[in-house]
């Protein structure tokens, strides 16, 4: 299969007082289309930085990065922005919704940025909100939504342009079990549409929902395990909000 | 207390840019207020110096020979007095010169009225007869050329007359149809400066007076100047010796009335600036509170009371107010002679007045009041929020969707513009402060331009055939224009500072918002455009309100001769474009900083 994400010697070093801080250090990684990958590791091990590098929010100090076969590590800020519109969807722990926009407008935004008409964007956004169970909250500002609702809106916003790659940074970190279950249910459906998921988490139960688990320490990937699709995953998921995949 | 002071000092050092902006805004207000108070003192100082150098009068009078006769239609049209009338007047004045308390006198000296041509302008003039030897009281100070030499075809012109009509020693002027040579120019406190003081005065020697009297100049009265043993007794002396006497205090107070108007106007502008500075300072304080809510939360968590937390903030800004007061006191005092120099009534080059406690107290009071009013509200609001919320604080999210942004979306405006317009109403207080300051500045520019155009049209009218009238009106208009344009410049300067402050804090507030947009695929240019649109919207509102306000102010304040406002339409367009361009230049710095700020820093901050 073709690798959607391919990193070779990907590094991000920051200047330190005496020696450089190696937030991400010579990471080699290939993630295939339709694959769901969890990244785990202690705080400060570079998980989020890796995610930011893969989504172009930070620039590598060394190494190569390919997205959908295209080399992207040398793209300009504007070129990365255009690529991100279509190919990358971000989900954050803190939701990061635009406070001034309603739930519907937040979801429409990426579609409008790629040039979809307002009418089509609205239709697609409403459909997604409906699929995620928050259509009745479409005209509310984020401040009026619960944490779970906000994250579902954020997820809808990440998915509206059907990106190749969904990058989720602790997406369930601020949610209760029920809301976590709702989010994971959506993630579980992504491989069916050929979308790739890279998920940073501290929660082993959430990590267990992926096809593959990467362990990180001191900026490097120290463990790369393929999880079976059998009993262990099912057991973990069934504990979450009584959800039965 | 020491701990709070140390914390306040650390906070100031950590944000020198913000302290500098507040210092600038406060200094504008304190400088203007100090200037307003110093201008009068500078005028007085200039008068006092000339009074001292010329051994000036304490009481003076100019008495008509024909007190009982009805006033003539023109000054030169009165019939010559009889010898008895002249003798009686001189006798009265001589008696007065010998009154108790008088230690020296000058006069009585005859005064004649005539017409003449000076520097090509035909004028009515008063001729003041003086001896060639220096007089003990009010001997005019020669400013160029020499004093009267007793030659019958030489005269000395009052300094203001010579300077306005560009006549220098050695020139020839015509008095009562007789050509006479200008021997010099001079000034004294008993004679005001032309053109504010009319008719203009010319000093002539007794032989020259006799020649001009023969040529048609008419004796109209006599002057007397007295020095008293006790200068403060002048009002009592004047009251005791009948009407028509003027004390040195009265002459001094009225000698620069146009400066008094100027000072009053400056005081109004200074007060207006102080009010607007409250808005600037409030934006800074509110911005600081938003940025510092974590610190406040931490301080409260370790046991600081809300009052103490407010005290830290107040201490910071009072320190800035203190520095701004010193800057204002020094700058206002030093600028005062420069401002006064252009005044037509000034005798010689003005000097800076000494710094006084009363003036300093006013400047300190203005700065401290601004800071207290601006700090207490936002600071109390900030410290009242719960400690937990403060520790987790970020910009307070809106509770209602922006109608303006929704309308912009419906109108099909580009996405960055729609997003920008949504942000306009996010901080209504800041936007209002920003718009008010800018609108007032724009209004003053319009008033200035309308006044300039109206004055030119008015001065070109046939009403001012007389050079003196034209000169007086030109001077008055020049002074008015100076005031209006100075006010406009100060207001615009403060508006620019305010706009910059607002833009800096708006950039900080919206940094997270823009970082989110960039994660969704908005380019840096799109996010900057969105930010600039938000900021320019305030400027557009200011133009839309400031221009009509300026027209309205001018229409209300200007007299019938200057109304209606007849500025061409392109002038309004130029003012609006100029305001927008200035504003754009002001906000582009914060916008570029916003564009350069890394996305991940903003998103991980929460």
Domain coordinates in residue numbering, chain A? 5-241
8 Å CB contact of B409 and A118: yes
Chain A residues close to B401, C-beta within 8 Å: 100-102, 105, 139, 141
Q: What is the pLDDT along chain A (245 residues), one digit of tens a residue?
A: 578 999 999 999 988 778 888 889 999 999 999 899 999 988 889 998 999 999 988 889 999 999 988 999 988 888 888 888 889 999 988 888 887 788 998 899 889 888 888 899 999 999 999 988 899 999 998 888 988 899 999 999 999 999 999 999 988 888 888 888 888 888 888 888 889 999 999 888 888 888 898 989 999 998 888 886 544 555 555 554 444 44
- Return the residue of B nearest to A54 by Cα: B519
pLDDT at A240: 47
pLDDT at B391: 42
Per-residue model confidence as pLDDT tens digits over A72-97: 998 888 888 888 888 999 998 888 88
Q: Which CATH architecture has domain A5-241?
A: 3-Layer(aba) Sandwich (3.40)
Chain A residues close to B413, C-beta within 8 Å: none
pLDDT at B158: 92
The CA distances from residue A170 to A38, A41, A185, in Å, are: 10, 12, 15
pLDDT at B281: 77
Q: Among B398, B526, B604, select the one facing A99 at the smallest CB separation.
A: B398
For the segment B3-16, the average pLDDT, to the nearest whole number, is 72
Residues of A with CB under 8 A from a CB of B: 48-49, 52, 55, 57-58, 77-78, 81-86, 88, 90, 92, 94, 96-102, 105, 109-110, 112-114, 118, 139, 141-144, 157
Q: Among A85, A102, A157, select the one facing B401 at the smallest CB separation.
A: A102
| Positive or negative: CA dihedral A114, A116, A117, A123 | negative
Q: How far, in Å, CA of B530 to CA of B419, rounded?
A: 6
pLDDT at A157: 92
Per-residue model confidence as pLDDT tens digits over B127-181: 999 999 999 998 999 989 999 988 888 999 999 889 888 899 999 999 989 999 9
8 Å CB contact of A97 and B516: yes
8 Å CB contact of A96 and B519: yes
- Return the residue of A nearest to B425 by Cα: A100
More confident call, B66 vs B62? B62
Residues of B with CB under 8 A from a CB of A: 395, 397-402, 405, 409, 412, 415, 419, 422-423, 426, 512-513, 515-526, 598-600, 603-604, 606
Per-residue model confidence as pLDDT tens digits over B551-601: 888 887 766 666 677 788 898 999 899 888 888 888 888 887 777 777 777
- Return the residue of B nearest to A144 by Cα: B399
For the segment B356-372, the average pLDDT, to the nearest whole number, is 88
User: Closest Cα to residue B273, out of B445, B490, B595?
Assistant: B490
Q: Among A81, A96, A141, select the one facing B401 at the smallest CB separation.
A: A141
Q: Is residue B343's pLDDT more than 80?
A: no
pLDDT at A130: 92
> Between chain A and chain B, how many beta carbons pairs sit less than 8 Å apart?
94
Count CB neighbours of B177 within 10 A: 13
Per-residue model confidence as pLDDT tens digits over B239-255: 988 788 899 998 888 77
Count CB neighbours of B410 within 10 A: 10
- Return the residue of A nearest to B411 by Cα: A118
pLDDT at B344: 65
Q: How far, in Å, CA of B80 to CA of B218, rounded?
A: 6
8 Å CB contact of A78 and B524: yes
DSSP state of A190: G
More confident call, B431 vs A213? A213
Range scoring the smallest mean pLDDT among A165-174, B273-282, B436-445: B273-282
What is the value of ipTM here, to two decimals? 0.79
Three-state secondary structure of B75-136: HHHCCCCCHHHHHHHHHHHHHHHCCCCEEEEEEEEEEEEEEEEECCEEEEEEEEECCCCCCC
pLDDT at A232: 56
Per-residue model confidence as pLDDT tens digits over B374-408: 877 766 666 565 544 444 445 556 666 666 666 76
Quote the pTM value. 0.65
pLDDT at A243: 44
Q: How far, in Å, CA of B78 to CA of B301, rounded?
A: 90
The Cα angle at residue B425 between residues B424 and B431, in degrees rounded to 5: 70
Strands B172-175 and B59-64, bridge-based pairing? unpaired
Range scoring the smallest mean pLDDT among A145-159, B37-51, B421-435: B421-435
**pLDDT > 90 fraction of chain B, expressed in percent and rounded:** 17
Q: Smallest CA–CA separation between B288 and chain A, in Å? A: 21
Q: Which range, A214-218, B63-67, B267-271, B518-522, is most confident?
A: A214-218
Q: How far, in Å, CA of B104 to CA of B95, rounded?
A: 13
Q: How far, in Å, CA of B96 to CA of B90, rounded?
A: 10
Q: How far, in Å, CA of B343 to CA of B340, rounded?
A: 5
Interface test with A, best of B519, B537, B598 (most A CBs within 10 A): B519
pLDDT at A245: 41
Angle between helices B306-341 and B16-53 (to 10 degrees): 40
Q: Across chain B, what does the average pLDDT equal?
A: 79
Q: Are the CB atoms for B24 and B497 separated by under 8 Å?
A: yes
Q: Among B399, B412, B521, select the one facing A113 at the smallest CB separation.
A: B521
Q: Are the CB atoms for A241 and A180 separated by under 8 Å?
A: yes
Strands A36-40 and A212-217, bridge-based pairing? parallel
8 Å CB contact of A85 and B520: yes
Q: Is residue B121's pLDDT more than 60?
A: yes
């Amino acid at each position: 299969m073709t690798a959607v994400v391919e990193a070779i010697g990907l590094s991000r070093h920051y200047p330190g007082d005496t020696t450089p801080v190696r937030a991400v250090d010579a990471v080699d990684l290939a993630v295939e289309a339709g694959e769901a990958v969890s990244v785990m590791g202690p705080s400060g091990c570079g998980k989020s930085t890796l995610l930011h590098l893969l989504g172009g929010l930070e620039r590598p100090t060394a190494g190569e990065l390919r997205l959908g076969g295209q080399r992207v590590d040398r793209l300009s800020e504007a070129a990365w922005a255009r690529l991100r519109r279509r190919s990358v969807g971000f989900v954050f722990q803190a939701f990061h919704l635009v406070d001034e926009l309603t739930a519907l407008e937040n979801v429409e935004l990426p579609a409008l940025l790629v040039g979809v008409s307002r009418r089509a964007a609205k239709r697609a956004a409403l459909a997604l909100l409906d699929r995620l169970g928050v259509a009745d909250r479409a005209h509310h500002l984020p401040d009026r939504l619960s944490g779970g609702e906000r994250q579902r809106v954020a997820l809808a916003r990440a998915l509206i342009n059907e990106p190749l790659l969904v990058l989720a940074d602790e997406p369930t970190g601020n949610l209760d079990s029920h809301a976590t279950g709702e989010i994971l249910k959506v993630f579980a459906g992504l491989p069916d549409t050929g979308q790739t998921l890279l998920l940073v988490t501290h929660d082993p139960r959430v990590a267990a929902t992926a096809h593959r688990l990467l362990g990180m320490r001191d900026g490097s990937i120290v463990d790369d395990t393929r999880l079976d699709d059998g009993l262990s995953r099912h057991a973990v998921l069934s504990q979450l909000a009584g959800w039965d995949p | 207390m020491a701990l709070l002071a140390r914390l306040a000092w650390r906070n100031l050092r950590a944000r020198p840019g913000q302290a500098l902006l507040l210092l600038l805004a406060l200094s504008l207000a304190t400088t203007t207020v100090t200037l307003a108070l110093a201008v009068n003192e500078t005028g007085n100082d200039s008068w006092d110096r000339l009074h001292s150098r010329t051994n000036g009068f304490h009481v003076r009078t100019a008495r008509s020979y024909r007190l009982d006769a009805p006033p003539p239609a023109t000054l030169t049209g009165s019939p010559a007095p009889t010898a008895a009338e002249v003798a009686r007047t001189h006798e009265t004045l001589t008696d007065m010169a010998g009154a108790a308390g008088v230690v020296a006198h000058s006069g009585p000296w005859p005064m004649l009225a005539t017409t003449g041509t000076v520097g090509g302008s035909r004028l009515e003039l008063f001729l003041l007869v003086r001896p060639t030897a220096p007089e003990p009281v009010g001997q005019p100070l020669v400013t160029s050329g020499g004093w009267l030499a007793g030659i019958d075809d030489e005269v000395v012109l009052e300094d203001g007359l010579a300077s306005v009509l560009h006549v220098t020693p050695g020139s020839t002027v015509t008095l009562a149809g007789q050509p006479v040579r200008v021997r010099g120019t001079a000034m004294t406190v008993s004679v005001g400066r032309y053109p504010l003081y009319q008719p203009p005065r010319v000093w002539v020697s007794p032989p020259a007076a006799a020649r001009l009297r023969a040529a048609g100049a008419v004796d109209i009265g006599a002057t007397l100047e007295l020095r008293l043993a006790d200068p403060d007794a002048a009002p009592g002396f004047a009251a005791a010796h009948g009407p028509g006497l003027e004390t040195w205090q009265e002459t001094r107070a009225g000698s620069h009335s146009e400066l008094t108007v100027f000072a009053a106007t400056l005081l109004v502008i200074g007060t207006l600036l102080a009010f607007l500075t409250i808005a600037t300072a409030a934006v800074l304080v509110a911005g600081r509170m938003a940025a510092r809510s974590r610190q406040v939360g931490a301080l409260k968590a370790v046991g600081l009371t809300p009052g103490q937390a407010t005290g830290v903030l107040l201490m910071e800004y009072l320190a800035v107010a203190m520095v701004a007061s010193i800057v204002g006191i020094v700058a206002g005092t030093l600028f005062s002679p420069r401002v006064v120099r252009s005044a037509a009534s000034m005798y010689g080059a003005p000097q800076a007045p000494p710094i006084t406690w009363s003036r300093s107290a006013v400047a300190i009071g203005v700065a401290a009041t601004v800071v207290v009013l601006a700090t207490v509200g936002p600071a109390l609001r900030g410290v009242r929020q719960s400690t937990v919320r403060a520790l987790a604080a970020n910009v307070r999210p809106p509770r209602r969707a922006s109608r303006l942004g929704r309308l912009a979306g419906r109108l099909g405006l580009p996405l960055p513009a729609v997003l920008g317009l949504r942000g306009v109403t996010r901080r209504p207080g800041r936007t209002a402060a920003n718009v008010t300051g800018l609108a007032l500045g724009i209004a003053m520019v319009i008033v200035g331009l309308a006044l300039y155009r109206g004055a030119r049209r008015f001065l070109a009218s046939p009403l001012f055939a007389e050079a003196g009238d034209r000169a007086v009106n030109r001077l008055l208009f020049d002074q008015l224009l100076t005031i209006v344009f100075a006010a406009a410049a100060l207001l615009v300067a403060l508006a620019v500072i305010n706009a910059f402050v607002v833009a800096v804090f708006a950039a900080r507030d919206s940094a997270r918002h823009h970082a989110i947009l960039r994660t969704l695929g908005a380019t840096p240019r799109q996010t900057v455009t969105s930010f600039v649109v938000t900021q320019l919207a305030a400027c557009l509102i200011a133009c839309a309100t400031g221009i009509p306000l300026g027209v309205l102010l001018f229409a209300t304040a200007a007299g019938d001769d200057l109304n209606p406002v007849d500025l061409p339409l392109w002038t309004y367009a130029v003012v609006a474009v100029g305001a927008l361009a200035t504003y754009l230049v002001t906000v582009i710095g914060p916008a570029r900083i916003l564009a350069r700020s890394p996305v991940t820093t903003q998103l991980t901050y929460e």
